Chains A and B, each alone.
Chain A
């Protein structure tokens, strides 16, 4: 399973595999290595080479905090699977008032009517792409100004689906 782990803006590609009850890791483009790592609750004891790393590893979905004796580290984690899904949903859409298709696909449902209020993160359109149905979410709170697509339409990447009038802060 592949994870994108980011610390202070630097992203690493870490592949973790478990085979025959053993854990293996591939860090960026280094060679794969067998892991000697033990968790007791959140306490992590990790021996790599002869180096000992002892820390408390706490995660909440994508945000991880690692407490080491010297300092606290913050990490962002995203699995490969999550990254694909969020791409489909258009989660990384800009902060403007347009909701666009992030992948080519078909519009399955439109969940909001023109003039209807939407809150930030609320699903507005359901799209089918790569045989998966995905909700496209609004990136802001506002009112639906214009719907630019219809159910059954085949859309291309970047195609405009909906325009919003942003809510005053």
Chain B
């Protein structure tokens, strides 16, 4: 494939666009970018061979516009489109339109994307393909006696959920058998009021849930492999905060079973390209299918660390009809890796921050990887996800990876906006996290962010540095604006004149 360079459009922005473009160049292909007017400054534009503006800042007017992306592809003579994650990556109509326009979509087939994009069809398909689902009734009912009989079969605690549901309405947790009927009646009338549909279904309540997902790669030649699992239980409001691979929680036999089940399911549905199957794992290490992501994940670097493989490159190979460059038996899980999503947000109030990045120093060293499109002077647009960097760290053991991560985080200074870096640092010291047994509820129920204490001596030094900076500004006021580095030269010159 390396003989004919292909023109690959990355229909995304930010760090993932950069990530895919690196793989593209490495393979001898030509990376093409799209950008919104708000993203002109983003590094992914500068690193591309060609770039095309697809519209205004809000993604609905740019990155989500199928017509504009196809127009960009045509204008830049793209042979293939890589969708990255988010935006159009799981849009079956887009995948279809790309093929119909005579290009290759770097991802699975539009049919699979559509099936997995719908909760009900995804669950039905995966159940048929052999994956266990959270025990529960499939059909909603208003008949309390039928529901009660089902509930007793499932066991307590369980959840009552509205068939038409959403937003927590018509939803109840039932801990004891005798509470069931009164709670069912209340939930049913609530659902009827909220959605005009009083039907409810019951589902087993998973105590101490862990979010564990299996990375899959499959080619069009029938090769399906897993690249082990990742644990993403460190979440806040369903937003992943830290991911790690391998999971510190799974027992070896369960790991083997869950990975093999994922491979088998993908084989059964004829999956191709990169995909991730997400599971809920309970306190007894039972695993249940949650959903499948038919794209490259944000947290793929941890898998790349432990396997030494390049998932983006593999995606491109497979999309062009080549075989996977490795077989299952070639893959070894080596060491341990973490990924920290650095968000421009207030770590206490969790509010996103937009603004100018006045300083950007990233960590480096053995086993440290940065994926970021930000740099000093970069203005964080208000329209998109506030993630400005991913720091991923590898160590030979989990302990080593934790210590290395702390060093890396302490070297990370992204200034001008608040970031969640201090939150990561504190999570790394949380006893449940250190132990390697933490659930998806840890951050919300068992963790409070504390503004770290600063020792008096360092506080004094901070105050002095402020006074010195203010002092130098008094001189600078007279100097030519714009050159921040000239401050001391200017002071020195002034002094020399005395």
Partners in one complex: yes
- Contacts from A to B (Cβ < 8 Å): 1, 3, 5, 7, 12, 14, 16, 18, 20-21, 23, 25, 27, 35, 37-44, 46, 48, 51, 53, 55-59, 64-73, 75, 77, 79
A43 to B, closest residue via Cβ: B359
Decide if A35 touches B464 in the complex (CB within 8 Å).
yes
Sample (11) of A-B pairs whose CB atoms are under 8 Å apart:
A16-B471, A23-B468, A27-B464, A39-B487, A46-B461, A53-B465, A66-B465, A69-B411, A71-B452, A72-B418, A79-B474
Instruction: Decide: A58 near B415, CB < 8 A? Known: A18-B491, A73-B454.
Output: yes
A59 to B415, CA, bound (A): 12
Interface residues of B (CB under 8 A from A): 358-359, 361, 376, 410-413, 415-416, 418, 422, 425, 451-452, 454, 457-474, 484-485, 487-488, 491-492, 495-496
CB of B359, distance to nearest CB on chain A (Å): 4
Q: Are A77 and B466 in contact (CB under 8 A)?
A: yes
Q: Is the interface of A mostly helix, strand, loop or mixed?
A: strand
Say yes or no: A70-B467 contact (C-beta < 8 A), given A40-B485, A41-B359, A41-B484. no
CA distance A67 to B413 in the complex (A): 7
B415 near A56 with CB under 8 A, answer: yes
Beta-carbon nearest neighbor of B464 in chain A: A25
Q: Which residues of A contact B422 (CB under 8 A)?
A: 70-71
Whether the pair B461, A5 counts as a contact (CB closer than 8 A) is: no
* B contacts with A: majority SS: helix
A5 → B minimal CB distance (Å): 5
Q: Residue of A at shortest CB range from B493?
A: A21
Q: Would A44 and B465 count as touching, CB distance under 8 A?
A: yes
Closest chain-A Cβ to B57's Cβ sits at a distance in Å of 25
Known: A25-B464, A56-B413, A64-B469. 7 other contacts (CB 8 A): A25-B467, A39-B468, A46-B464, A69-B413, A70-B454, A73-B459, A73-B462
The residue of chain A having its C-beta at the shortest distance from the C-beta of B451 within the complex is A71
Whether the pair B461, A53 counts as a contact (CB closer than 8 A) is yes
> Is the beta-carbon distance between B495 and A20 smaller than 8 angstroms?
yes
Q: Which residues of B contact A39 (CB under 8 A)?
A: 468-469, 472, 487-488
Q: Do B468 and A66 touch across chains, with their CB atoms under 8 A apart? A: no
Q: Whole-angstrom distance between the alpha carbons of A149 and B467 in the complex? A: 40
Q: How far is the CA of A1 from the CA of B484 in the complex (A)?
A: 21
Interface contact A68-B468, CB-CB below 8 Å: no
A41–B454 Cα gap in the complex (Å)?
A: 24
Question: Which of B376, B452, B470 has the largest number of chain A CB atoms within 10 A?
Answer: B470
**If A21-B495, A71-B452 touch, does A48 touch B359 (CB 8 Å cutoff)?**
no
Interchain CA distance A64-B474 in the complex, whole Å: 15
* CB-based contact A3/B459 at 8 Å: no
Chain B residues positioned under 8 Å from A35 (CB to CB):
464, 468
Which partner residue on chain B sits nearest A75 by CB separation? Answer: B466
Closest Cβ of chain B to A15, distance in Å, is: 8
Q: Pick the residue among A27, A57, A79 that contacts B460 (CB under 8 A).
A: A27
Partner of A55, one of B410, B418, B462, B471: B462
Known contacts A27-B460, A42-B484, A59-B473; decide if A14 and B467 are in contact (CB<8 Å): yes
Are A42 and B467 in contact, CB atoms less than 8 angstroms apart? no
Cβ distance B415 to chain A, nearest Cβ, rounded Å: 4
Complex Cα gap A3–B470 (Å):
8
Q: Which residues of A contact B462 (CB under 8 A)?
A: 7, 53, 55, 66, 68, 73, 75
Taking CB atoms, residues of chain B closer than 8 Å to A25 are: 464, 467-468
